[in-house]
């Protein structure tokens, strides 16, 4: 079959990446979708079982830091679009292993950019998916795309550094990059280290929700399908060289989030909700909130369509219906896989 477009998604077996890949495969049968993923602990092949047999889907088990693999992909696949989501994202882990975050988030982005820029036919769009955490915690302001970057933890610092790399390819080569900065994204299939699935997993195991610290920390939560819609809109209507915030007006304190999930999962009286909360020591550095403005994206026609009530209902139901999704996950074995790219994976350098 002749495909009209080839799209490379890095980190396509992760939470957001798998939703993006499924949307692309299902809605664009005339596009070839390539998923490059090293199946790290928080990524699962099970997230893509529904599309594994589709003719317009290709999985490549590999490391975004493997320059030989990336050169091979771009020299043979005529990639038109890159969505770069591959990253290490757990903030607490970034304090414990900052070098691994530097390797994947910064060096991996550099390798990918180099390979894409050197390709015989350069991609017409390179979309880098960043985070609202690059702004640092709000000091009363609401961040727009021109706000200064003040990352306060190693994860956010590596995302900000990767953004600078991406931007440098636009400044020097006019390489057609676009950067997005998202609020907290939630929904089905998110790994259990993130706050919503962590609380849900604890409650399903009859344990208390462990709320970190006593500061009034709150977050803006965006349902995953709305995030995917934003990325696809930016692909079609976004302007090369620009940055787009992807956010929501819905904000909730983390302690209140825990209380709401207790009521939904345990169905206890309000007077007993706090019995299911346990306050534990905070992580080394915490930002209270990340409010962002999204007028630039809204001018392209984007609006968040899924309300918090509907999004959290869908999320809770999914975790109730799939209690063993992560505990039962399995990784691919490249020795037994017909994947022609297996010779390149895994890369340990």
Q: Model confidence over 96-136: pLDDT tens digits? A: 999 999 999 999 999 999 999 999 999 999 999 999 999 99
Chain mean position to CA 81? 17
In the predicted structure, residue 242 carries a pLDDT above the cut 90: yes
Number of domains in the chain: 1
294-337 pLDDT, tens digit per residue, is 999 999 999 999 999 999 999 999 999 999 999 854 444 343 34
What mean pLDDT do residues 134-145 have? 96
Range 272-283 average pLDDT: 92
Inter-residue long-range contacts of 324-333, CB under 8 Å, 24+ positions, other chains counted? 325/44, 325/46, 325/189, 326/44, 326/191, 326/192, 328/46, 329/44, 329/45, 329/46, 330/45, 330/46, 331/39, 331/45, 332/39, 332/45, 332/61
Asked if 132 is an active-site residue, the reply is yes
Percentage with pLDDT > 70 across the chain: 94
Q: Give the confidence band of 93 by pLDDT, cuts at 50, 70, 90.
A: very high
Q: Calculate mean pLDDT across residues 165-170.
A: 98
Query: Is pLDDT above 60 for 246?
Result: yes
Residue 280 lies in a domain: no
Query: Which residue of the set 133, 163, 229, 287 is catalytic?
Result: 133
Query: Can 244 be counted among the known catalytic residues?
Result: no
Long-range contacts (CB closer than 8 Å, 24 or more residues apart) made by 205-211: 208/275, 208/276, 208/277, 208/278, 209/258, 209/261, 209/262, 209/276, 209/277, 209/278, 210/278, 210/279, 210/280, 211/254, 211/255, 211/258, 211/277, 211/278, 211/279, 211/280
Report the C-alpha gap between 10 and 7 in whole angstroms.
Answer: 10
Instruction: Give yes or no for a contact between 246 and 202, defined as CB atoms under 8 angstroms apart.
Output: no
pTM: 0.93
Is residue 315 assigned to a domain?
A: no
278 inside domain: no
Let me know how long the chain is. 349
Report if residue 261 sits inside a domain.
no
Is the pLDDT at 349 greater than 70? The verdict is no
CATH number for the domain harbouring residue 300 = 3.40.50.720
What distance in Å separates the CA atoms of residue 128 and residue 115, rounded to the nearest whole number? 15
Name which residue leads in pLDDT, 286 or 49.
49
Q: State yes or no: is 96 an active-site residue.
A: no
In a domain, 231, yes or no: yes
Range of the domain at 105: 5-187+222-248+291-305+329-344
Kind and range of the H or E run holding 82: strand 81-84
- Inter-CA distances, 129 with 27, 89, 152, 199, 284, Å: 21, 12, 19, 26, 25
Catalytic residue among 155, 244, 290, 319: 155
| Percentage above 90 pLDDT, the chain | 89
Q: Look at residue 114 and tell me if it is in a domain.
A: yes
Predicted local confidence at residue 328, as pLDDT: 57
Residue 179's nearest CA partner among 82, 103, 304 is: 82
Q: What is the mean pLDDT of residues 289-295?
A: 97
**Does residue 47 lie within any of the structural domains?**
yes
**Catalytic pick from 37, 63, 80, 132?**
132
In a domain, 154, yes or no: yes
Mean pLDDT over the full length of the chain? 93
């Amino acid at each position: 079959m002749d495909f009209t477009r080839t799209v490379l998604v890095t980190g396509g077996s992760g939470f957001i990446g798998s939703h993006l890949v499924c949307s692309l495969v299902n809605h664009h049968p005339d596009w070839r979708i390539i998923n490059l993923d090293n199946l790290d602990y928080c990524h699962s092949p099970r997230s893509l079982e529904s599309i594994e047999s589709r003719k317009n889907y290709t999985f490549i088990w590999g490391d975004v830091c493997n320059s030989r693999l990336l050169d091979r992909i771009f020299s043979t696949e005529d990639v038109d679009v890159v969505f770069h989501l591959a990253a290490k994202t757990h903030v607490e882990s970034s304090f414990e292993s900052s070098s691994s975050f530097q390797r994947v988030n910064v060096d991996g982005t550099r390798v990918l950019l180099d390979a894409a820029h050197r390709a015989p036919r350069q991609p017409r769009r390179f979309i880098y998916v960043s985070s609202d955490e690059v702004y640092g915690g709000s000091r009363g302001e609401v961040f727009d795309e021109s706000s200064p970057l003040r990352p306060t933890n190693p994860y956010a610092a590596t995302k900000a550094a990767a953004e600078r790399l991406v931007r440098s390819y636009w400044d020097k080569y006019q390489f057609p990059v676009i950067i997005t900065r998202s609020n907290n994204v939630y929904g089905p299939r998110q790994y259990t280290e993130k706050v919503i699935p962590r609380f849900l997993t604890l409650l399903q195991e009859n344990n208390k929700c462990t709320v970190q610290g006593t500061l009034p920390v709150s977050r803006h939560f965006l349902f995953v399908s709305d995030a995917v819609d934003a990325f696809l809109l930016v692909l079609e209507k976004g302007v090369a060289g620009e940055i787009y915030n992807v956010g929501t007006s819905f904000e909730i304190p983390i302690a209140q989030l825990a209380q709401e999930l207790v009521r939904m999962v345990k169905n206890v009286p309000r007077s007993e909700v706090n019995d299911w909360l346990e306050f534990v020591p905070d992580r080394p550095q915490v930002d209270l909130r990340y409010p962002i403005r999204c007028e630039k994206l809204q001018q392209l026609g984007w609006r968040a369509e899924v309300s918090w009530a509907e999004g959290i209902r869908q999320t809770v139901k999914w975790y109730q219906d799939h209690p063993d999704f992560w505990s039962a996950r399995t990784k691919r074995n490249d020795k037994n896989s017909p994947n022609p790219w297996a010779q390149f994976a895994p890369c340990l350098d």
